[in-house]
Structure 1
Amino acid sequence: MDTSPDGVSVLGLGAMGSALAAGFLAAGHRTTVWNRTPGRAAAPALRGAVVAGSAAQALTASPLTVVCLSTYDAVREVLEPLPGAVAGRTVVNLTSGPPVDGQRMAQWAERCGAGYLDGVLMTTPDRVGTPGALQLYAGPAALFRAHEPTLAALGDALHVGEDHGLPSVYDTALLGLMWSTLTGWLLGSALIGADGPGGGVPATAFTDVAARWMKTVETFMRDGARQVDAGHTPGGQFPLDLHLMTMDVLVHACELRGIDPQLPRAHRALVHRAVMEGHGSDSFARLIGYLRDP
């Protein structure tokens, strides 16, 4: 078994775990793999991975072990009987679960004398190893820095804090952002592609323009984030009064073109409530108060 400084072991060879092993191998890391169903190790073995006969062998083969199993229960089932195998090594857990599970695993690893990072992969298996594949990790910053060069083989590795529960919270928050954005994009594609004056635009053409527009949306987000953190939300040149007028136009456009107006109506209802309660001169960031206390 390899014990070189850049050696890494991967426990779990489902679709994502296999992609992790492939990413490490492609980057030149000596990679040891293990899976409860041995047959799944065949593909990584063909790429040059060493197949361990047990989880304990995989853990002791490398200074760093990346775990990617179906649930935290499965992680505990595999790791907790092996405290001696993790002692003095680092475990990176990329299994999805609630924040408390990451925190409990960190406590277990500390009792075993092991380093522990909890993480989440914000990508699909086919994107693992590409430059923009976002990975979020939490735990001791020094521990992350020590293994960042190895984890960078999987994509864009980012440390988000010391609390091991943070990756799970980021995961759900970012997925919420993704679904809201994708739904808005689909609404725009439906609206601009509908029959009528100025319509019939292909979704690909609309998306080329939308991608440029997202750069402006990012500035709105960054300006709004500073206001949220400061607790002060002046509207400036784009107050909620103006948002409400623009949303009225969008709802009307959807109704004219036969597009379901439910989504823009929901946006308008939230802004309308804030305006009616005297916040028309505030910015869009003012709405976070309604989301925090509905």
Structure 2
Amino acid sequence: MTQNTVEKAPVTLLGLGAMGTALARAWMADGHPLTVWNRTPARAAALGAEGARVADSAAEAVAANALVVVCLLDDASVEEVLGGTELAGRDLVNLTTGTPGQARARAEWARERGARYLDGGIMAVPPMVGVPEASGYVFYSGSRELFERHQETLGVPVGTRYVGEDAGFAALHDVALLSAMYGMFAGAAHAFALIRKEDIDPTSLAPLLADWLVAMAPAVHTTADQLKSGDYTKGVVSNIAMQVAGTPTFLSTAEQQGVSPELLSPFFELMRRRLAEGSGEEDLTGVIDLLLQ
């Protein structure tokens, strides 16, 4: 090493699916010594040819480095792969998609085995990894000290966002954002279905739809402010009474176009319930309270 050379932290990575492979290549490209293991040896062999050290077993990979990153199929896979390894003294970062409850249980499981634990929720797809301008990131929760110790290394593939000491918070943020995404996709699917039988080019609707969704997105800040203050009439632009009055038009249009209303009807029903129970001057924020069990 020369005087100006900075030695990069070594990393162990278990799991080389599309995301794991992308993470691996990003760390190697940044000069981090990498030890990998995968259930399917061929995937590990490909990275071995690119400079990674390929371990013969998960236990060998875990023993190689203090920082161990796991990116497997599900929580059951984490249990299966790590069950026979020696985790004492290891810094375990779990990027496997799971529920908040699974993350909390896994944090306790790791603690009982002498490991420090961080849970992660990846807000990126593989092509975004290693591409800073793509703006991907990972939510992290668990030990703040552990996060700060490895933040620079963890931030190499994608950005990092620490969301709290509760190990379940990363998964909760992940699922919350993805749930909103699927709601958006549901609305877009209904919109495209409405024009599907007409002489309307869907590629002409797409930019209008995208621009409209972008214009509406800042409404989440009003919702958050109303939830925090408890005043659901604060800053209302279109109150719930007015919006409920307009829902028959959406349902009639769907019927006339031969489109099932099943993506809209549940939300409209919640809106009607909230109007019946609350104030017509409220925003749609009160619907959130109806969802709580």
**Shorter-chain TM-score tier:** 0.7 to 0.9
- For residues 97 and 209 of structure 1, do their structure 2 counterparts lie closer, same or farther at Cα, with a shift above 3 Å needed? same
Query: What is the distance in 1 between the residues matched to 2:176 and 2:191?
Result: 23
Query: What is the distance in 1 between the residues matched to 2:292 and 2:225?
Result: 17
Tell me if structure 1 keeps the 8 A contact 2:59–2:84: no
Q: Which moved more, 1:135-144 or 1:57-66?
A: 57-66
Q: Deviations over 1:28-74 (max 9, x none)?
A: 32221112332321121122211123323322333321112233333
Count how many residue pairs are aligned between Structure 1 and Structure 2: 284
Tell me if structure 1 keeps the 8 A contact 2:8–2:33: no
**Aligned-pair CA distance for 1:193:** 4.8
Which residue matches 1:276? 276
Q: Which amino acid is the alignment partner of residue 268 of structure 1?
A: F
Which residue matches 1:202? 201
Q: CA-atom RMSD, angstroms?
A: 2.4
Q: Which amino acid is the alignment partner of residue 140 of structure 1?
A: S
Which residue matches 2:120? 119
Query: What is the distance in 2 between the residues matched to 1:230 and 1:159?
Result: 25
Unaligned ranges ≥5, structure 1: none
65, 68, 71: which is aligned to 2:71?
68
Q: Any idea what SS the aligned residue of 2:35 has?
A: strand
Q: Any idea what SS the aligned residue of 2:264 has?
A: helix
**Aligned-pair CA distance for 1:278:** 4.2
Tell me if structure 2 keeps the 8 A contact 1:66–1:92: yes
Which residue matches 1:88? 89
Which residue matches 2:12? 9
Residue 224 of structure 2 corresponds to residue 225 of structure 1: yes
Which residue matches 2:4? none
Which residue matches 1:259? 259
TM-score by structure 2 length?
0.86
Q: Any idea what SS the aligned residue of 2:156 has?
A: helix
Query: What is the distance in 2 between the residues matched to 1:275 and 1:69?
Result: 45
Query: What is the distance in 1 between the residues matched to 2:182 and 2:107?
Result: 30
Query: What is the distance in 2 between the residues matched to 1:108 and 1:136?
Result: 20
Which residue matches 1:288? 288
Which residue matches 1:149? 152
Which residue matches 1:108? 109
TM-score by structure 1 length?
0.85
**Aligned-pair CA distance for 1:163:** 1.0
Tell me if structure 2 keeps the 8 A contact 1:11–1:66: yes
Query: What is the distance in 1 between the residues matched to 2:267 and 2:77?
Result: 41
- For residues 167 and 254 of structure 1, do their structure 2 counterparts lie closer, same or farther at Cα, with a shift above 3 Å needed? same
Residue 181 of structure 2 corresponds to residue 181 of structure 1: no
Identity %: 36
Q: Any idea what SS the aligned residue of 2:93 has?
A: strand
Unaligned ranges ≥5, structure 2: 1-6
